[in-house]
Structure 1
Amino acid sequence: MTDTTPAAKKPTDVTISRAKGRPMLSWVGKKPLGRVTAFPAQLMERFSAADAAQGLPLGAADWSKWPKNLQQQDLQGGLLYHGDNKEVLAHLLANGFRGQVKLIYIDPPFDSGADYVRKVQLRGPKGTLKIDGEDYALGEQVQYTDIWSNDNYLQFMYERLLMLKELLSLDGAIYLHCDPSRNSYLRILMDEVFGPDAFVNEIVWQRLSAHNDSARYGIIHDTIYYYGGSDRVWNPQRTELRDTYVQQFFDQVEDGTGRQYSRSDLTARGLRNGETGKSWRGINPGEKGNHWKVGVSKLDEWEAEGRIHWPKADGGMPRLKRYLDEALEQGGTAQDIWLDIKPIHNQSQELLGYPTQKPEALVSRIINASTNAGDIVLDCFLGSGTTALAAQKLGRRWIGCDINKGAIQTTAKRLQGVMREQAQELSSVTQGELIAQMDAPPAPCQLSFSTWRVNDYDLHIQHNEAVELACEHLGITRTRTDPFFDGTQGNKLAKIIPLNHPLTPLDLEALRTELKNRPEEERDLLVVSLGQEHKAREWVAHYNHNRPINKIHLIELRTDRKAGGFIKHEPMSVQASVQRNGDKLVLQIDDVVSPSIIARLDLQEGIFRAQIPDWRAVVDCVLIDANHDGEVFNVTLADVPERKQDLVSGRYELPAPLLGAKVAIKVIDMLGEERTVVFAS
């Protein structure tokens, strides 16, 4: 059995327009994005549930502008990207998505004190061992670890907003979700990037009913900024009428029928010509600088129906009766304060262990309001995947990305389940029944999606983890303000060479060039690397000869006698077998060992070693590709238990492929680590 790794391609550059809005916010280190490098994306995985609904029409979508390279690979479906969203956005700009996105919803990190660590529970009955997921400082938020000083955070958001503007269509809209800790800065950034004229709404979402805080008023709301052009899509959203609203406004009772109603104004400000500017029943609204909201012929129609409320006192203005029974049936129109959407809580069925997870109802309202069926929705801070999930259910196309591999895996699992359900629903009804279901949600635009990796970000995450571990292990104090050196160790300047290659003379020449730009620097240098070329050691020996200052001291993280040997990663091991049984292929997993989970449990449990009675407790899901091509993992079968207390099967039967075909089994543990084993069938 073998592991598979796709090949990489060369990066390209894409141009980014300057922000032209006013006012403009200033911060230390502010700089626009003139050009940004677009790295290629590697296709990692494909999933399709389309076979179950073969022959039935999918939802309306214009795929003609879909990038040709994706069409050529028969990839007209959802796009899920694993990588730094700055690099993913650059990739999208370089590959045909400029000006194609109808809606952008983003929920970026906005609180440096927030707990972004996903909580993980091993599979099995209630009371099973729990562990923290990817650590905030080293894994899940590698992208965010250095941005919490205000200047860095603003630059981080500025760059991404500039790129998002390039992707947004002329009739599109962007919603930015934040909280009171940073919303004032983000509002000005949005004005600068998109222009103040593009501001539409500041939406207040009440996410908590109460919050105990002895030092101030409780903070119970988030803010959502809504920006878009004058041609943006807009579909008003209906909400249920609240009891307090009904009691306050529906205070009239109609004689004879007993129907409750409210009184609505029939005029609006401004003078008009035509029917809306005429006198009606001796009343001329123009005398007060107003006009009728509808023509006088419509007023006559309403009067004949008894829908006009006449005040008892003469000279009062007539008003329109709005009946309570009709209002309750129609609902109200959503305003800019949202009180009717409940947040995710401990008992929510949606709960996936992500502390900042947003409810599907909230994102669905935004998608329904600002897109039509078939439009493209983008979320580049995808998290648990709610935006992609809601877009899929509402018949929209979607693009999502996240830097965290666990987020990508969680999203993929959720989407696989939804697409299977949609395919089954489509296959169980006739064409006539589909047409007859007027109130049903739009048919899905796609029943497949592909997962991509940009710039080999698995390695990037390992590099950042190793840097943090190295600094902690070696006693290096991180320096956040120095653009070249990573920190100090005592009286030495420390430089950590990127850990995806060994130390080379080119790295050392860059070090010497930097020192020439610092003629007053007299400290020695500590250079930390993962591996060293022999020529690099010779270079250092020659450089240090008879040098009184700026001597270079080397530490190699694997082999150094005093400081090395601590960066070790034991991959997950999978014991499995594949056998032919007539026209069936039987796959059997006998054991899975996850050293990462064992180490995490040992760390949490202290001297009491945690017991894992069943190997399936550490396995989140099993994916199978019955005809693996050695590059892209095509999901033929997915064993994804619905509940945390359920376990994967471990034994699978599939139709046998041709002799010699490769069969790949991908096992993903509860921390998101993957292991793919490949067998010849």
Structure 2
Amino acid sequence: MNKLYFGDNLEILRELNDQRVHLICTDPPFNSGRDYNAFIGDSLAEKKAFTDTWTWDTAAQDARADIEHRAYTNETYKALDNCLKGYDLVLQNAVSGNSGAILAYLAFMGPRLAEMHRVLTPTGSIYLHCDPTASHYLKGIMDAVFGVDNFRNEIIWQRTNAHNDGKQYGRVHDTILFYSKSKRTVLNPVYTAHDPAYVKLKYKYEDENGLYRVDNLYASGVTREGESGKSWRGVDPSAVGNHWRTPRREAWPEGVEPPENYESLSVHEKLEVLDASGLIYWPPRGKVPGFKRYLSTTKGNRVHDVITDINPLARASKERLGYPTQKPITLYERMIKASSNEGDIVLDPFCGCGTTIDAAHTLQRQWMGIDITILALDPMRQRLADRHGLEPSIDYQIEGYPTNMQEVRKLLKDGDKRTYPR
């Protein structure tokens, strides 16, 4: 399945079958109004990779006309068309600003998001990486295309620590819009390591099994059934309105094995086994004993919608490929871990230098990448070779890549007239 496509992603997406992919992670142009340059090749010669500037021109008008035409027979395009007409009213009557630029950008992104919705499986989802320049407009389009009830999160990634912006607050974050195709979406729990300050504060004790904190061996509420409310080793939990609660097998530290019949033991029998294994903390002065909860057995903190633990790529980072707007692979690994499973197909329609593709392959997912920029495919191929030992035509396929200058000139002259395997 692993494939790279060179060409217009809208045309390629329209060639793909319905419900083909399980996850889309993509980092499209932001409507930033900037030129982006790449340093590709041994000579480090600067070359323009793409211009993130949009104009309400003939191409934008044609894109809107195509959306209106498709809206007659397609409910997704009808919702998209209505959304864009609403933006027309808002932006064309704005007191200031270049409304044509944002309308052109939305005419570009809208049909691509509609096709991304179509190719997702019913349990699929999408992460759309954007910045505050257009994220609020894109959210409106995604509400229309994916449905308001399928919005999952607006994820904030702190991409830099400091930025001086004169007469406004420093812009230090990107936005990642997370939508699902339906309520049956895949969402696996992903954890980050505990903060060192938290570990130092909470895990105050240490023995041969590592750092641990003292956790409760009881829960609130008096019970009259079984042994959980009865005295053990002279300690009566019911005297203070509690009952015994023993930990599950997963809470035992590595190297200390519970008996095979641990789950079937009575409460008092479990307490005896725990104590014999050195997992009960006996406090001084006869206080209530506790369970040794080891740091090594905890999963950490479940990730939330504000990401501050993944740093942007430093200038000297070994991960850098010289491609503009490159994002850290750990950011995309997190999204792929959360919203797909091994063997699933991950698509990036704006794959650039291949961060999503690299992350997907690392996590044993199948992948598909699309990019129109010739400059992107060379570093992407090199990345796959260096990181994973992958070779084109052997380990993955490349569709539509021009092999000589004659093909390049023809492509530039005639446009993308090719068809792509489904």
Aligned-pair CA distance for 1:170:
1.2
Distance 2:382 2:329 in 1: 16
The residue type paired with residue 23 of structure 2 is L
| Change beyond 3 A, Cα 1:460–1:181 | farther
Partner of 2:3: 79
- Distance in 1, matches of 2:54 and 2:410, equals 10
Indicate whether 1:326 and 2:296 are aligned.
yes
User: What is the identity percentage for the equivalent residue pairs of Structure 1 and Structure 2?
Assistant: 36
> Does residue 237 of structure 1 match 2:157?
no
Letter paired with 1:173: S
Counterpart mapping for 1:115-154 below 5 A = 115-120=35-40, 122-123=42-43, 130-134=44-48, 136-137=50-51, 149-154=101-106
State how 1:41-120 maps to structure 2 within 5 Å: 77-92=1-16, 97-120=17-40
Name structure 1 gaps, 5 residues minimum: 1-76, 124-129, 269-274, 286-291, 313-317, 424-445, 464-497, 501-681
Distance 1:297-1:349 versus aligned 2 partners, 3 A rule = same
CA shift digits 1:381-426 (9 cap, x unpaired) = 0000111122222221111101111112222232234453699xxx
Contact in 1 for aligned 2:390/2:396 (Cα 8 Å): no
Residue 121 of structure 1 and its aligned partner are, at CA, apart by 5.8
Q: Which amino acid aligns with 1:232?
A: T
Give per-residue Cα distances to partners, 1:464-509, cap 9 Å, x unaligned.
xxxxxxxxxxxxxxxxxxxxxxxxxxxxxxxxxx899xxxxxxxxx
1:71-470 equivalent positions in 2, closer than 5 A: 77-92=1-16, 97-120=17-40, 122-123=42-43, 130-134=44-48, 136-137=50-51, 149-228=101-180, 229-247=182-200, 250=202, 260-261=212-213, 281-282=237-238, 300=267, 305=274, 323=293, 325-326=295-296, 330-420=299-389, 448-453=395-400, 458=408, 462-463=412-413
Residues 9 and 372 in structure 2, CA contact (< 8 A), matched pair in contact too:
yes
Q: Report if the CA contact (8 A) 2:33-2:53 is conserved.
A: no
Structure-2 residue corresponding to 1:654: none
CA-to-aligned-CA distance 1:120-140 (integer Å, 9 cap, x gap): 4643xxxxxx53213634xxx
The 1:172/1:253 distance shift into structure 2, 3 A limit, reads same
State whether residues 110 and 182 of structure 1, in contact with CA within 8 Å, keep that contact through their aligned partners in structure 2. yes
Shift of 1:201: 2.5
In 2, Cα distance between equivalents of 1:416 and 1:181: 35
Shift of 1:87: 0.7
* Residue identity matched to 2:109: M
8 Å Cα contact 1:142/1:461 also seen in 2: no
Taking a change above 3 Å as real, the CA distance of residues 218 and 254 of structure 1, as seen in their structure-2 partners, is same
User: Is the alpha carbon distance of 1:336 and 1:300 closer, same or farther for their aligned partners in structure 2, counting shifts above 3 Å?
Assistant: farther
Change over 3 Å in CA distance of 1:340–1:403 after alignment to 2: same
Q: Is the 8 A contact 2:35 2:48 kept in 1?
A: no
Q: CA separation in 2, counterparts of 1:411 and 1:234?
A: 28
Q: Following the alignment from structure 1 to structure 2, what is the Cα–Cα distance between the partners of residues 121 and 454? A: 18
Gap change, CA 1:260 and 1:355, over 3 Å in 2: same
Give the secondary-structure state (helix, strand or coil) at the position aligned to 2:342: coil
Tell me if the contact between 1:378 and 1:400 (Cα under 8 Å) persists in the aligned partners.
yes
Aligned partners of 1:419 and 1:447 also within 8 Å = no
Contact 1:79–1:398 (CA<8 Å) still a contact in 2?
yes
Corresponding residue SS for 2:114: helix
* Partner SS, residue 379 of structure 2: helix
Q: Residue 364 of structure 1 aligns to a residue in which SS?
A: helix
Letter in 1 for 2:27: D
Q: How many correspondences in the alignment?
A: 340
CA contact (8 A) 1:83 1:457 kept: no
Report if aligned partners of 1:104, 1:378 keep a CA contact under 8 Å in 2. yes
Give 3-state SS (helix, strand or coil) of 1:357's partner: coil
Distance 1:259 1:365, change over 3 A: closer
Alpha-carbon contact 1:344-1:358 (below 8 Å) kept: yes
Shift in Å at residue 353 of structure 1?
1.3
What is the CA–CA distance in structure 1 between the aligned matches of 2:407 and 2:144, rounded to whole Å? 31
Q: Which residue of 2 aligns with 1:614?
A: none
Opposite residue 390 of structure 1, the aligned amino acid is: A
AA aligned to 1:79 is: K
Q: Distance in 2 between the 1:267 and 1:185 partners?
A: 49
| Aligned position for 1:673 | none
Q: d(CA) in 2 for partners of 1:222 and 1:358?
A: 11
Structure with more of its chain in strand, by fraction = 1
* Correspondence list, 1:406-555, <5 A: 406-420=375-389, 448-453=395-400, 458=408, 462-463=412-413
C-alpha distance in 1, partners of 2:360/2:384?
10
Residue 603 of structure 1 corresponds to none
**Which has the larger helix fraction?**
2
> Structure 1, residues 612-657: CA drift from partner, whole Å, max 9, x if none?
xxxxxxxxxxxxxxxxxxxxxxxxxxxxxxxxxxxxxxxxxxxxxx
In structure 2, relative to structure 1, the CA distance for the partners of 1:320 and 1:395 (3 Å cut) is: farther
The C-alpha deviation readout for 1:302-338, integer Å capped at 9, x for no partner, is: 86647899999xxxxx9986735325x7443323222
- From the superposition, tell whether residues 262 and 110 of structure 1 become closer, same or farther in structure 2 (CA, over 3 Å): farther
Distance in 2, Cα, partners of 1:354 & 1:363 = 16
SS class of match (2:396): strand
- How far apart, in 2, do the equivalents of 1:143 and 1:450 lie? 32
Counterpart contact for 1:263–1:319, Cα < 8 Å: no
Per-residue deviation, 1:258: 10
One-letter amino acid of the structure 2 residue matched with residue 451 of structure 1: I
Backbone CA RMSD of aligned residues: 4.7
Closer/same/farther in 2, CA of residues 359 and 135 from structure 1, 3 Å limit: closer
CA shift, 1:177, in A, is: 1.0
Structure 1 residues 422, 108: closer, same or farther in 2, change over 3 A? closer
* Unpaired runs of at least 5, structure 2: 61-99, 231-236, 249-262, 417-422
Give the letter for the 1:453 counterpart: G
1:210 deviates by 2.4
> What's the offset of the Cα at 1:232?
2.3
The aligned amino acid for 1:234 is L
For residues 309 and 460 of structure 1, the distance between their equivalents in structure 2, rounded to whole angstroms, comes to 76
TM-score (norm 1): 0.42
In 2, Cα distance between equivalents of 1:354 and 1:319 = 58
CA 1:239–1:211: 2 relative to 1, 3 Å: same
Q: Aligned partners of 1:185 and 1:297: how far apart in 2? A: 57
Give the conservation status (yes or no) of the 8 Å contact 2:5–2:370. yes
- Call closer, same or farther: CA 1:499–1:208 in 2, change over 3 Å: closer
User: Is the 1:106–1:177 contact (alpha carbons within 8 Å) kept by the matching residues of 2?
Assistant: yes
**CA pair 205-79 structure 1, distance change in 2 beyond 3 A:** same
1:284 Cα deviation (Å)? 7.8
CA, structure 1 residues 195+454, in 2 after alignment: closer, same or farther (shift >3 Å)?
farther
